């Protein structure tokens, strides 16, 4: 099992020792319940850095009042085994009071890029993500930090924050890891009932079909968005939260597909909300 520390002082001491030994430092920020997608982030970090820290912290500030903070899976022992297998050197698993001491009243907000997708769908979510990620960057002081492309908007927003606030961290975005049937790996997949799990690959198939329609010449974004929404809605038991095709850089609406775009979706299967995307 990868060793675990729980305080800012301990993780800083370990990172300082690694730096004194001439190592560069990679950080993989996670909320735990690790899976093969996280393992690939950790392997990427280990390929680029001599000392890899995985943070495991279910961050309360990025959950809305009706979201799954309380039931979010907490599996630290299994996470530490996966970390060891994937090549991490240290797990940082702080309690909430260590990351947010009493009377913490400072938050980080990236504007503009949160106008669509999970911005309006999950008010306050990215403020919570940016705040905790910037805090982790200050605590660990990594050379590089690794994020998954499944959270496309999150990765874009973190990159912007790092650029705008001159944070000396190299943000790396690693490809989405999928199950054999195409379902994007997610800690939330474990909430799915067998029936929901059986139909969940339909989300990725709908994205692939829309990408194929775009490749075949359909450039009207409103047509692509309605076809995408209709295909998702046809998945048994699915409720579409959003199905959008946006400018991949600005994350703003597009009329025609005349520049790189991202098709991004959020779909409820029962009470489980899954997101996925494809750059088209």
Chain residues that interact with ligand PAF, rule: CB under 6 A: 29-31, 59, 62, 129, 132-133, 151, 154
Q: Of 133 and 221, which CB lies nearer to ligand PAF in the complex structure?
A: 133
Active-site residue list: 38
Q: Of 164 and 220, which CB lies nearer to ligand PAF in the complex structure?
A: 164
**Closest separation between CB of residue 10 and ligand PAF, Å?**
19
In three-state form (DSSP H/G/I as H, E/B as E, the rest C), the secondary structure along the chain is CCCEECCHHHHHHHHHHHHHCCCCEEEEEECCCCCHHHHHHHHHHHHHCCEEEEEECCCHHHCCCCCCCCCCCCCHHHHHHHHHHHCCCEEECCCHHHHCCCCCCCCCCCCCCCCCCHHHHCCCHHHHHHHHHHHHHHHHCCCEEEEECCCHHHHHHHHHHHHHCCCCCEEEEECCCECCCCCECCHHHHHCCHHHHHHCCHHHHHHHHHHHHHHCCCCEHHHHHHHHHHHHHCCCCEEEEEEEEEECCCCCECCECCCCEEEEEEEEECCEEEEEEEEC
**Closest separation between CB of residue 222 and ligand PAF, Å?**
30
Q: Of 187 and 221, which CB lies nearer to ligand PAF in the complex structure?
A: 187
**Closest separation between CB of residue 225 and ligand PAF, Å?**
25
**Closest separation between CB of residue 53 and ligand PAF, Å?**
12
Q: Of 41 and 206, which CB lies nearer to ligand PAF in the complex structure?
A: 41
């Amino acid at each position: 099992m990868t060793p675990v520390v729980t305080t800012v002082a301990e993780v800083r001491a370990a990172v300082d020792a690694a730096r004194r030994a001439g190592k560069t430092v990679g950080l993989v920020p996670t909320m735990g319940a690790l899976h093969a997608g996280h393992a690939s982030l950790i392997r990427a970090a280990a390929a680029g850095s001599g000392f890899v820290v995985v943070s495991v912290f279910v961050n309360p500030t990025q959950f809305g009042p009706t979201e799954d903070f309380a039931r979010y899976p907490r599996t630290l022992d299994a996470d530490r085994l996966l970390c060891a297998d994937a090549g991490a050197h240290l797990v940082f698993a702080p309690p909430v009071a260590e990351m947010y001491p009493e009377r913490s009243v400072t938050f980080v907000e990236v504007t503009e890029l949160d106008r669509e997708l999970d911005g309006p769908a999950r008010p306050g979510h990215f403020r919570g993500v940016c705040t905790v990620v910037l805090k982790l960057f200050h605590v660990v002081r990594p050379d590089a930090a690794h994020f998954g492309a499944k959270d496309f908007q999150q990765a874009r927003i973190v990159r912007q924050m790092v650029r705008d606030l001159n944070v000396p961290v190299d943000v790396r975005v690693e490809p989405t890891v999928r199950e054999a049937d195409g379902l994007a790996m997610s800690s939330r997949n474990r909430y799915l009932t067998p029936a929901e799990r059986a139909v969940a690959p339909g989300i990725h198939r709908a994205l692939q079909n829309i990408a194929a329609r775009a490749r075949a010449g359909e450039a009207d974004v409103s047509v692509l968005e309605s076809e995408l929404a209709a295909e998702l809605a046809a998945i048994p038991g699915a409720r579409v939260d959003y199905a959008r095709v946006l400018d991949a850089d600005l994350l703003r609406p597009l009329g025609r597909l005349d520049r790189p775009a991202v098709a991004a979706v959020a779909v409820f299967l029962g009470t489980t909300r899954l997101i996925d995307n494809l750059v088209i």
